[in-house]
Every structure is written in structure tokens, then in C-alpha cells.
């Protein structure tokens, strides 16, 4: 069935566009729905700019978080992919340095994701693939309403419609300024709901962090200070047995931690199996797409986001099929604490080859998934994993070494409390997602109905 729009040449000239995609009937109808309401453009209510255009001066530690388009989701952030830039580069780019309440908008890749910058994300800076909207104090609408609207059908169609480019679409600053946001009577309620969802997400992060602190204390790893001496000694036979000659590996701090973890003779391979369910795109005849989890999708609350990928465009690194209660942990740069629990809704999703997929064992020999997740996110454990990486440009730990890392099983009462806190975090996260979907649906309902 043919679908077309008929417009006069004057309209084409006014728009400065000749492409049929821009004038498709669906877009014209969405535009009419917005324009029959009172609206403002983003450029009229605040500063609109983008991020740093020069190459990032990446540092491994003591840097400033540097967000890219991959880090911004639908009213959310996924900072597993975030780099760190030097404090000097951050200081030289005050225009792009983030503030609480800024709205970020993705301008390449998945165009149109919007989120509000929370205090917990700072200090941070952004690259040129993110649009920054900083509202004036007297703006008639607030950041949380703008972010929620931009994530609705009526916000996303504008972002995608105004994007231009051949090889890669890009939404430029001048086009962001033109995006229309309706002034709805329920805007304060939508803002309050969105803000509540952000608070619930932060509550989830705090609960997971508290579980980590509890586990650290119960294992006796909460006070692992460095050696007061500038040097230490080891027997040559110890070096031969460990097959290691680097001083860092034999640091008294790490050796004490390893002794604590090895006190009951167990290792990660004792309490979990390495799952290798290979992803075979050719077997999915009834589907055109699949859900893909990459390393940058890991969130700070111990869960993972996913993106929809066409089977025909499946990346070579899409390798492992995951199931509920699996724990995925990054074998690449494990120092970044990139581990997540797979939820029931993510059954059959596919993750990157950069993850090891661990299946906790049941019974006396096993451990709860929430406990394994928390263990793998402990900073001292991540440091130990990092000690076992090889290569310099792309340091990764072999799965055989990962499975051999000592694992101290805490007492049952501690495990029960860790499980309780992680599950409570998951519930808070789920409620936040529900509130955000409800807010978007309400905005879309009013726009469709033509009601202010």
C-alpha cells in the first residue's frame, strides 16, 4: 500500500528539506498534534551546546568522568563505557563541564535518548556526540519534564527527523534548539514522578553499595591498607610457583587479601560454573532482531541495559546467551567493577564475548547469585582480578584464571542480608522504570488528545 504526502513548493522551501522521509505522513501528524498546543523551543528556554570536540586526554585514574552517547539512556545513565579525561582537559573545557540539572541528549547512534544530570554523576564532562541543554532560572518548564518529553514518541520523532548525514546521522546544535516541547498543565506532576524515579534508582545504587560494604566487613577485607614499607621481599621459589615476577602482584596488601579469600579453600570455580551457551543467529528463523548486552551497558546498580540489534547486523563479539540468575562479569579491564545480574525479563538475551557468564551452583557447594554479584563488584576483588590481566592496550583476564580466584564464603546470616539488600535494590529499580513509563504514557495521552 502506497504512503505519500502532498506539499507545495513553498512549504519545501520554508523547511529547507526535500527528502520524503522528513515529510512522511506520520511525522506531519505528530507535528500537527504538538503545534495545536502551546509549546516552547529548547533554544528559547536555555543554553544549547555540545561537548568537547578535541580528542580525549584519557587517564586511568584520578581523572574526570567523560560521557559519550553510549552513556545516556532513556532517563538513565549507563556509565560502564565512560572514560576518564585528565583534570587539565576538564579545566580547559568549562563550557561542557556538567552541572546538576543539565539535560543531555544523544545526537549520534541511538538518537534522542535524554536524561537529567544528577549530583552523583559529577564531576563529569561530555564529548561532541551529546547535546547539552542548560535551562535558564526563569524557564517555564523544568529539566525533568523536558527529559521525559524528549523520550516520548513526540520527542524522539523530532530528534530523529531533524538529524542529517549520509554515513552516520547526527543531530546538530541548531536543530536541537528547534525541538518543540509543549507546556502541559500536568508538567509539575510529570516532573515530580520523574524525579521520584531518579531517587528510586539512586536508592537501588545505595542498597547495592551497602551490600558490598557488609560483605567486605564480614570477610575481613574492609581495612586492607598498603604496606608501610617502600619495599618487600619474596623467595625466588615463590616467584617460580606463581609464574609472576612483577612487584605489584606480591604486594603485602594483595597477598593478605588473597590469604583471607582462600581460607576455606574455595574459588569462584567451586561455587559457580562457567556457562558457554553460544549464540547462533542462524537458528533464530522467527526473529529479525535480538537483545544485545555490551560492556558499556553495565549499570552502577548491578543490572545491565540492552539494545535491539538486527540479526543481519549481529556483531562478531555477540557470543553468549544468558539466562535469569546468571552473573556476567567483564574480563576486560575488570578493575572497572563491571558485573551484573541477569533478570527474568532478560532470558535469552545475548552478551558480548568480553563477558564471562557465571552460573552459581545450587546446594551446599553453591552460593546465591546476589552474593556472587556483590563479591565480584568488591573493589579489592576487582583489583585482584586486574592483577591477572594480560596485554597493555586491551588488558583482559583469562576465564581459567578468573575461575581460580579464591572465594571466601561468608556465613549464612550475612548471605541472607546481602540477598535481601540486592533484591530490594532490584525492586526499587523496577518501580522507577514503571514510574517513568507511566509518565511518558500520560504525556503522550495528553498530546494525542490535544489537551493542555
Query: Could you tell me the sign of the dihedral formed by the alpha carbons of 42, 44, 45, 50, in that order?
Result: positive
Domain final position from 183, 211, 242:
183
Whether the pLDDT of residue 238 is over 70: the answer is no
- Domain residues for 386? 230-408
pTM of the model: 0.86
pLDDT per residue as tens digits for the range 78-94 = 887 789 999 999 999 99
pLDDT at 452: 64
Q: Are 84 and 65 in contact (CB under 8 A)?
A: yes
279, 147: one domain: no
Q: Are 82 and 66 in contact (CB under 8 A)?
A: yes
Helix (H, G, I), strand (E, B), or coil: what is residue 84? strand
Q: Phi and psi dihedrals of 126, rounded to 5?
A: -135, 160
Q: Of the given ranges (240-249, 283-292, 362-371, 391-400), which has the lowest mean pLDDT?
A: 240-249
pLDDT per residue as tens digits for the range 377-400 = 999 999 889 888 887 677 889 999
Q: Does residue 390 form part of some domain? A: yes
pLDDT per residue as tens digits for the range 419-428 = 999 999 999 9
346, 266: one domain: yes
Question: Whole-angstrom Cα distance, residue 8 to residue 6?
Answer: 7
For the chain, how many structural domains are there in total?
2
294, 396: one domain: yes
pLDDT per residue as tens digits for the range 142-177 = 999 999 999 999 999 999 999 988 778 899 999 999
CATH at residue 380 = 3.90.220.20
Contacts of 177 (CB under 8 A, 6+ apart): 41, 42, 43, 48
Q: Does residue 6 form part of some domain? A: no
Question: Whole-angstrom Cα distance, residue 57 to residue 5?
Answer: 48
Residue 369 — very low, low, confident or very high, per pLDDT cuts 50/70/90? Answer: very high
User: What is the widest separation between alpha-carbon atoms in the chain?
Assistant: 86
Q: Check whether the bond before 123 is cis (ω within 30° of 0).
A: yes
Q: What is the mean pLDDT of the chain?
A: 89
pLDDT at 236: 66
Q: Are 123 and 64 in contact (CB under 8 A)?
A: yes
Q: Are 285 and 412 in contact (CB under 8 A)?
A: no
What percentage of the chain carries pLDDT values higher than 70? 88
Contacts of 366 (CB under 8 A, 6+ apart): 271, 272, 360
Amino acid at each position: 500500500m502506497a504512503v505519500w504526502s502532498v506539499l507545495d513548493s513553498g512549504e519545501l522551501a520554508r523547511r529547507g528539506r526535500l527528502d520524503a522521509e522528513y515529510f512522511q505522513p506520520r511525522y506531519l501528524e505528530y507535528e500537527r498534534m504538538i503545534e495545536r498546543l502551546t509549546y516552547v523551543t529548547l533554544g528559547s528556554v536555555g543554553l544549547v551546546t555540545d561537548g568537547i570536540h578535541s580528542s580525549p586526554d584519557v587517564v586511568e585514574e584520578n581523572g574526570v568522568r567523560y560521557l559519550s552517547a553510549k552513556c545516556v539512556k532513556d532517563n538513565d545513565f549507563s556509565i560502564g563505557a565512560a572514560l576518564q579525561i585528565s583534570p587539565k582537559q576538564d579545566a580547559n573545557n568549562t563550557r561542557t563541564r556538567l552541572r546538576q540539572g543539565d539535560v543531555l541528549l544523544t545526537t549520534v547512534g541511538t538518537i534522542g535518548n535524554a536524561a537529567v544530570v544528577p549530583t552523583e554523576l559529577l564531576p563529569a564532562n561530555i564529548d561532541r556526540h551529546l547535546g547539552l541543554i542548560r535551562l535558564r532560572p526563569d524557564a517555564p518548564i523544568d529539566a525533568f519534564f523536558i527529559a521525559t518529553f524528549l523520550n516520548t514518541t513526540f520527542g524522539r520523532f523530532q530528534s530523529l527527523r531533524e538529524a542529517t548525514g549520509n554515513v552516520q546521522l547526527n543531530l546538530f546544535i541548531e536543530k536541537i534548539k528547534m525541538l518543540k516541547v509543549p507546556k502541559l498543565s500536568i508538567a509539575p506532576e510529570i516532573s515530580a514522578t520523574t524525579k521520584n524515579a531518579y531517587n528510586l534508582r539512586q536508592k537501588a545504587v545505595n542498597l547495592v553499595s551497602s551490600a558490598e560494604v557488609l560483605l567486605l566487613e564480614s570477610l575481613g577485607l574492609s581495612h586492607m591498607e598498603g604496606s608501610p614499607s617502600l619495599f618487600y621481599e619474596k623467595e625466588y621459589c615463590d616467584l617460580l610457583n606463581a609464574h609472576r615476577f612483577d612487584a605489584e602482584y606480591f604486594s603485602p596488601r594483595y597477598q593478605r587479601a588473597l590469604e583471607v579469600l582462600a581460607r576455606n579453600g574455595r574459588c569462584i570455580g567451586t561455587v559457580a560454573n562457567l556457562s558457554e551457551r553460544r549464540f547462533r543467529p542462524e537458528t533464530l528463523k522467527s526473529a529479525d532482531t535480538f537483545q544485545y548486552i555490551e560492556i558499556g551497558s553495565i549499570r552502577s546498580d548491578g543490572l545491565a541495559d540492552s539494545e535491539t540489534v538486527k540479526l543481519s547486523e549481529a556483531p562478531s563479539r555477540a557470543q553468549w546467551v544468558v539466562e535469569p540468575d546468571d552473573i556476567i562479569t567483564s574480563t576486560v579491564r575488570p578493575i572497572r567493577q563491571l558485573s551484573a545480574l541477569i533478570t527474568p525479563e532478560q532470558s535469552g538475551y545475548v552478551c558480548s564475548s568480553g563477558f564471562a557468564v557465571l552460573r552459581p551452583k545450587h546446594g551446599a557447594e553453591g552460593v546465591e547469585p546476589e552474593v556472587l554479584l556483590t563479591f565480584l563488584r568488591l573493589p579489592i576483588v576487582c583489583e585482584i582480578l586486574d592483577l591477572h590481566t594480560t596485554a597493555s592496550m586491551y588488558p583482559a583476564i583469562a576465564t581459567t584464571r578468573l575461575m581460580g580466584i579464591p572465594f571466601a564464603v561468608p556465613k549464612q546470616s550475612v548471605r541472607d542480608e546481602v540477598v535481601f539488600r540486592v533484591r530490594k535494590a532490584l525492586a526499587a529499580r523496577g518501580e522507577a522504570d514503571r514510574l517513568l513509563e507511566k509518565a511518558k504514557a500520560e504525556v503522550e495521552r495528553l498530546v494525542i488528545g490535544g489537551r493542555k
